[in-house]
Amino acid sequence: MLRPETARALGKASTATLTTQLFKRGFRNLFMQGVRPLGAPGRNLVGPAFTLRYIPAREDLDPIETYADPEHPQRKAIEIIPAGHVLVIDCRGDARAAAAGHILITRLSVRGAAGLVSDGGVRDSAAIAALGFPVFCAGPSAPLGLIAHHAAEFGVGIGCGGVAVLPGDVIVGDADGVVAIPAALADEVALDAAAQEEMEEFIQSRVAAGAKLPGTYPPNAETRASYEAWRQARTKE
Amino acid sequence: MLRPETARALGKASTATLTTQLFKRGFRNLFMQGVRPLGAPGRNLVGPAFTLRYIPAREDLDPIETYADPEHPQRKAIEIIPAGHVLVIDCRGDARAAAAGHILITRLSVRGAAGLVSDGGVRDSAAIAALGFPVFCAGPSAPLGLIAHHAAEFGVGIGCGGVAVLPGDVIVGDADGVVAIPAALADEVALDAAAQEEMEEFIQSRVAAGAKLPGTYPPNAETRASYEAWRQARTKE
Amino acid sequence: MLRPETARALGKASTATLTTQLFKRGFRNLFMQGVRPLGAPGRNLVGPAFTLRYIPAREDLDPIETYADPEHPQRKAIEIIPAGHVLVIDCRGDARAAAAGHILITRLSVRGAAGLVSDGGVRDSAAIAALGFPVFCAGPSAPLGLIAHHAAEFGVGIGCGGVAVLPGDVIVGDADGVVAIPAALADEVALDAAAQEEMEEFIQSRVAAGAKLPGTYPPNAETRASYEAWRQARTKE
Amino acid sequence: MLRPETARALGKASTATLTTQLFKRGFRNLFMQGVRPLGAPGRNLVGPAFTLRYIPAREDLDPIETYADPEHPQRKAIEIIPAGHVLVIDCRGDARAAAAGHILITRLSVRGAAGLVSDGGVRDSAAIAALGFPVFCAGPSAPLGLIAHHAAEFGVGIGCGGVAVLPGDVIVGDADGVVAIPAALADEVALDAAAQEEMEEFIQSRVAAGAKLPGTYPPNAETRASYEAWRQARTKE
Amino acid sequence: MLRPETARALGKASTATLTTQLFKRGFRNLFMQGVRPLGAPGRNLVGPAFTLRYIPAREDLDPIETYADPEHPQRKAIEIIPAGHVLVIDCRGDARAAAAGHILITRLSVRGAAGLVSDGGVRDSAAIAALGFPVFCAGPSAPLGLIAHHAAEFGVGIGCGGVAVLPGDVIVGDADGVVAIPAALADEVALDAAAQEEMEEFIQSRVAAGAKLPGTYPPNAETRASYEAWRQARTKE
Amino acid sequence: MLRPETARALGKASTATLTTQLFKRGFRNLFMQGVRPLGAPGRNLVGPAFTLRYIPAREDLDPIETYADPEHPQRKAIEIIPAGHVLVIDCRGDARAAAAGHILITRLSVRGAAGLVSDGGVRDSAAIAALGFPVFCAGPSAPLGLIAHHAAEFGVGIGCGGVAVLPGDVIVGDADGVVAIPAALADEVALDAAAQEEMEEFIQSRVAAGAKLPGTYPPNAETRASYEAWRQARTKE
């Protein structure tokens, strides 16, 4: 369960700050490689992962008629994903074909999903960008998924952009890309990220005003004291 | 020969729709990989392919003086490409150097070519984007072509972005990228693509209004009937 | 020493022109591969290289506390880079992590550096783009550098984007990317580039007006004569 | 169920012949890319696939103690794989670490498995080659799997070397590499492959004796008649 | 025309020596990347190039029946290649499928070709290695060529392993790989390579006996004098 | 300083065992990717690293005459490497050219170096394999180094195969490849590796005799007790 205050805090934290918090906890590989925002991201994408797994397509398993089956894992996943969740699709980093297109993403949006993340491509990229629905992927790719992907199952652990994603992991995306936070760590990471961001706002203002890096970034005792004073002054406002 | 009504229909069809039509006909590999619009594409690029083939450069064959030869295949191709055609350049996916630059693309534009497509780079990318001439390529790349490419011949079958392109194949490009339609299929693909797009416009409106995927996309008999009614109503307007 | 008039001339020359001038002098590999402007570049980046070299990170050498050391080569390099110089960071083409982020790049900007070039990623890409400071890199990448990079030394010959960069080489960047001009050649390349650009402005105007490529590009004696007349007429204005 | 006579026939057929038979049935992507025999293959590897799926490792999920869990999917898979089956491990083409090593492969061998196939690496490659147990992989790779792989589940559809592998698909490996035959096709493919190989043995003898390709390969009516005679003569022996 | 004494000299020269000779003449890119001997090479492969060009396959152009056409460029090339020539096949570096297999290579051998070179794969690799016919390629690959390659034409300039190959260029292959010597340079390169190899035999003996590199490799005046004495002594034997 | 007993122990330990020991100490990235033995390795390569760093070549810095300079970093490194050390050359993973060839490697051998490791290529691979001197690299590559590499400096921290290598780190190579052990850890890793290998010899014998994995590998208390008994019995012999 993603707590609302955690989601709120993560919505304000950059993926840069989050990967630093995760590094401090021993995690070095939670940022997806090769996965970028489609269109200009506004505020952060935040939500628990709902996973969908593709394997390579096979001609006999993947005729175009397969999409008419209501149990087709891609269609089913889109119909049952809980509101606020992020559909994360494992395309094995293969962007030769689309993980999804305009109509499916519209349906995701109508159903209240928080966004779509994939290490594959998406088709109808211009129409999708116009939807304003958060999509992170390997880039535009027109061919229908069936030339490369067979939807195998949903709700299982997957890889996406070289990162392990378990159902319920908290996905955060911004202009830099996408990070997958292990569910059990989301609350504390959100809290510490907020603190780090506030500290870095202070440091950034110091550096912009001419402060040298040593002693400022990372902060020494003196800078930390100044920060505390600044923070308390600000809180009173 | 590309019939005007076919060109018109293809100009309205997305490459996503076209690859679906081609998939239905058994083609799985007609969308160029790694070839993207340079600058924001407005309407579709459409035209028959005029092909140009590069092989790796060789120091003795490719001094800078080679460009003065009016028979140089790159220069010649640009001078003789028929109006409305798309110059498609096979760079073997090597984007370390430019397939063409500002002056050559200006000449292409003046000569009435429909656009330029290459799996190599282009130089002077900012100036070219300002021209408003449709260019699809692997991205900006400043070095002159001679560091990597020797222009070998034009008017032959080539590969571009991993796709076979024969002279006269119909090239269509949009925001997703570029598809090469075998010449003999252009008319029927254009016709069916128009029908598919109209159907999907209807489906998209249904999905945006809250329809579930099963029965809607792909459409079952009931949805097809509603579509027919919708289409006839619209036609009367 | 980069002479002011050389810097001025290079600031007006495109990297396309510069690579042509370097090709004429026997250089085929001075344009960085996979290094692109972050955000829209306005005018050219120009400045002498100040180099920084990363090697792969190692868990014992690269804990997060390492950044507190004022002798840490990354922090030190940023504190001592001379005004007007370009910080060029060798990330071995590995963009899985950031070469630098918002605060460090702000410090670079405050210190009067001309820009940052790296074949690695940068984090906080949206904030950096908002700074208006010239940054060229392999793309956004949120993870802190320590997951992939150990700052080894500065002020030595490095590779960046597959190009040799020695301290003092003149770095020029525009929308196409980045070229590294050997220091000893900067003056003459700047001079010849300016002449080439003026000539190509003339040729471009001719081609835009309908001139054929043969005789015009490259120019034959007649076109050269016309160019001289045009140039002198313009000079008189 | 893999019938014994089918297994026998597949054991004599080359993967080249099998991919031709599969191509004739419309399959273009059943040969694993980047998967090679470790050590010199003797006779063909043949057996039904028993699948094991890895996703990227995560520091909290994959400490070294995880291997002590008897339910660990890698260890469990090795303990329950039916005799005669091939363990096929999906490493997402990532060969930075080992899919398995000497002790596990020894256990596989003792349990009567037919072989191991993976698109990841294997460690202890010299010791494994000495076992004489058929192993096909991306090459030697010493690091233990936990630096890159988390064993997620077994007995599901996977990708391996870019190929879809379902449990029960028939795996055949020889010096060229590995092909995955859809279970339902194994009998007919085996039969036709045997016929093709016999025909090609005849053609090969003709070509070795100086026959031209046209009319011989592929065979025209006359060559087919000669083949029938040759085959019947041989059968009598 | 490749002169017999040139062929003889090239047959004794290593590709290492030949690329040094070519470097001295300004050529930096004549060694094929990713092309290796199949099986253990004995003596050098030497012969003029007979080129064959593949483009990506297309489902309508490349059914299996296409091979029955005696004008099929692959089959035709094999039937008409002059004795002593090397068939060089441009597969665009795509090794997902075979450039050729056992029967075709047997035919090449029977026809007196000197060898086969390709940057694609070959099928039936074990049988081919047993033929003893020189084959250099990207490695074993079982799928028939038609899944990836369409034979377009022969006798034209091609790329192979990133190198320009014109018909008649002299191909030399050894354990390191394959170099393509421009036809016009073959005689002088062969002569100088022989001289270099004799000199290096002397240097190697000196170094094996304990000589320091400075003054020995490259040789200074004194070492050159000793070499001349050694050479003359040897000639008298 | 590498102690003789440490060197002896490492000479018996596999790189698989060593990477496990390093993983237990928190190191996940000390095995070189893409670096393989040239020829069949007999016993392990073991020795402290002597590092040499290449950057991309530049035409003006890297004419063939550069090798005559006794201060050329490549030649100098080979002349001064201490006996028993391993020359580790950083080629940035670029195998288009040779890091070294037959004569230089002969000199290394004569000087008493323990071996050569590089993530680039080597030329004269057949002659080198015949030397019996341990060489690990990315594969054979005939072109002389100057087409791709400029020798920049020696005795500094480098990257090789994606791994940080500091001067004095202990290099161990076997059939699987090469691991770089941080100098300060060599003694304890050697000790624990020897213990692990003895334990695994016991486990392997158990597994070969039919023991199940659970309880055996990793060993539970009972297996550990049996191991102790086995070990003591063996020691008495």
pLDDT along chain F (237 residues), means of 10: 96 97 98 94 89 98 95 98 98 98 98 98 96 96 98 98 98 98 98 97 97 97 97 86
- Greater confidence, C54 or E234? C54
Strand partners, C31: C179
Q: How far apart are CA B46 and CA B61, in angstroms?
A: 34
**Residues near B180 by Cβ (< 8 Å), separated by ≥ 6?**
B30, B32, B49, B88, B160, B163, B164, B165, B169, B170, B171
- pTM score over 0.90: yes
Nearest CA to A214 out of A205, A203, A228, A225 is that of A203
Q: Do E142 and D14 touch (CB under 8 A)?
A: yes
Say if CB C102 and CB A197 are below 8 A apart. Answer: no
A-chain residues near D157 (CB < 8 A): 55, 150, 152-153
On chain C, the residues whose CB falls within 8 A of the CB of F95 are: none
- The letter for the amino acid at B149 is H
d(CA B207, CA E140): 49
CA distance F90 to chain E (A): 19
Q: Give residue B129's pLDDT.
A: 92
Cα three-residue angle E190-E192-E193, rounded to 5 degrees: 60
Secondary structure letter of residue D34 according to DSSP: T
**Is F208 within 8 Å of D146 when comparing Cβ atoms?**
no
Burial of B109 per CB tally in 10 Å (0-12, 13-18, 19+) = buried
Q: Which of B39, B50, B38 is nearest to B88 (CA)?
A: B50
- Across the interface, do C57 and F29 touch by the CB < 8 Å criterion? yes
Mean pLDDT of C19-45: 93
**With 80 as the cut, is the pLDDT of residue A228 above it?**
yes
Instruction: Write the single-letter amino acid at E130.
Output: A
Judged by CB atoms closer than 8 Å, whether chains meet at D79 and F16 is answered as no
Looking at chain A, the whole-number percentage of residues with pLDDT higher than 70 is 99
Convert the pLDDT of each residue in D32-50 to its tens digit: 999 999 987 667 899 999 9
Q: Give contacts of D120 with chain F, Cβ < 8 Å.
A: none
Smallest Cα distance from C6 to chain A, Å: 30
Measured between alpha carbons, how far is D157 from D165 in angstroms, rounded to an integer?
6
D1 or B213: whose pLDDT is higher? B213
Cβ separation of C16 and B146 shorter than 8 Å?
no
Distance (Å, rounded) from C-alpha B206 to C-alpha F120?
A: 58
Name the CATH superfamily housing domain C31-181: Ribonuclease E inhibitor RraA/RraA-like (3.50.30.40)
Query: Would you state the pLDDT for residue B40?
Result: 74
Own/partner pairs, C184-192, CB within 8 angstroms, 24+ separation: C185/C22, C185/C25, C186/C2, C186/C3, C186/C6, C186/C10, C187/C3, C187/C6, C189/C10, C189/C18, C189/C21, C189/C22, C189/C25, C190/C5, C190/C6, C190/C9, C190/C10, C190/C13, C191/C9, C192/C21, C192/C24
Tell me whether residues F208 and D106 touch, CB distance under 8 A.
yes
Please provide the distance, in angstroms rounded to a whole number, between the alpha carbons at the two ends of chain B.
34
Q: For residue B107, give the nearest of C18, C207, C218 by CB distance.
A: C207
- What are the pLDDT digits (tens) for C155-165? 999 999 999 99
Q: Do F124 and E16 touch (CB under 8 A)?
A: yes
Model pLDDT for residues A142-151, shown as the tens digit of each residue: 999 999 999 9
CA D21/CA E223 separation, integer angstroms? 64
Instruction: Kindly list the residues of chain E whose beta carbon comes within 8 Å of any beta carbon in chain B.
Output: 26-30, 55-61, 92-93, 150, 152-153, 156-159, 162-165, 182
Q: How far is C65 from chain F (nearest CA, A)?
A: 17
Are F16 and D98 a contacting pair, CB within 8 Å? yes
Residue of F nearest to D71 (CA): F214
pLDDT, chain C, mean: 96
pLDDT at site F40: 74
CB neighbour list of residue B40: distance below 8 Å, 6 or more residues apart: B175
- Asked if the model's pLDDT at residue E131 lies above 90, the reply is yes
What contacts B201, CB < 8 A, 6 or more positions away? none
Contacts of B205 in chain A (CB under 8 A): none
Where chain B has pLDDT below 70, the residues are 41-42, 237
pLDDT given at position E235 = 82
Cα-to-chain-centroid distance, residue F112: 16
Across the interface, do C140 and A175 touch by the CB < 8 Å criterion? yes
Of B112, B102, B134, B108, which is closest to residue B52 (Cα–Cα)? B108
| Partners of C171 in beta bridges | C47, C180
pLDDT in tens, A30-66: 999 999 999 876 678 999 999 999 999 999 999 999 9
Contacts (Cβ under 8 Å, ≥6 apart) of E204: F102, F103, F106
Angle (nearest 5°) at CA B117 between B114 and B122? 115
Q: Which residues pair with D41 in a beta bridge?
A: none
D237, pLDDT greater than 90: no
pLDDT bucket at E157, cuts 50 / 70 / 90? very high
Are F142 and E36 a contacting pair at CB < 8 A?
no
As a whole number of angstroms, the distance between CA E89 and CA E52 comes to 5
How confident is the model over C78-134, as pLDDT tens digits? 999 999 999 999 999 999 999 999 999 999 999 999 999 999 999 999 999 999 999
Q: HSE of E53 in the Cβ direction (CA atoms, 13 Å)? A: 24
Q: Which residues of D52-78 are buried (b: 16+ CB within 10 A; e: fewer)?
A: bbbbbbbbebbeeebbeeeeebbbbbb
Question: How many Å separate Cα E213 from the centre of its chain?
Answer: 31
The per-residue pLDDT for B8 is 97
Q: What is the pLDDT of residue D133?
A: 96
> Which residues from E are below 8 Å from D when comparing CB atoms?
64, 67-68, 70, 75, 78-79, 96, 98, 101-104, 106-107, 110, 123-127, 139-144, 146-147
pLDDT tens for each residue of C212-236: 999 999 999 999 999 999 999 988 8
Distance to chain D for F20, nearest Cα, Å: 6
Among D16, D177, D214, the residue with its CB nearest the CB of E70 is D214
Name the residue ranges covered by the structural domains of chain F. Answer: 31-181, 194-236
Q: Tell me the C-alpha distance between A21 and A5, whole Å.
A: 18
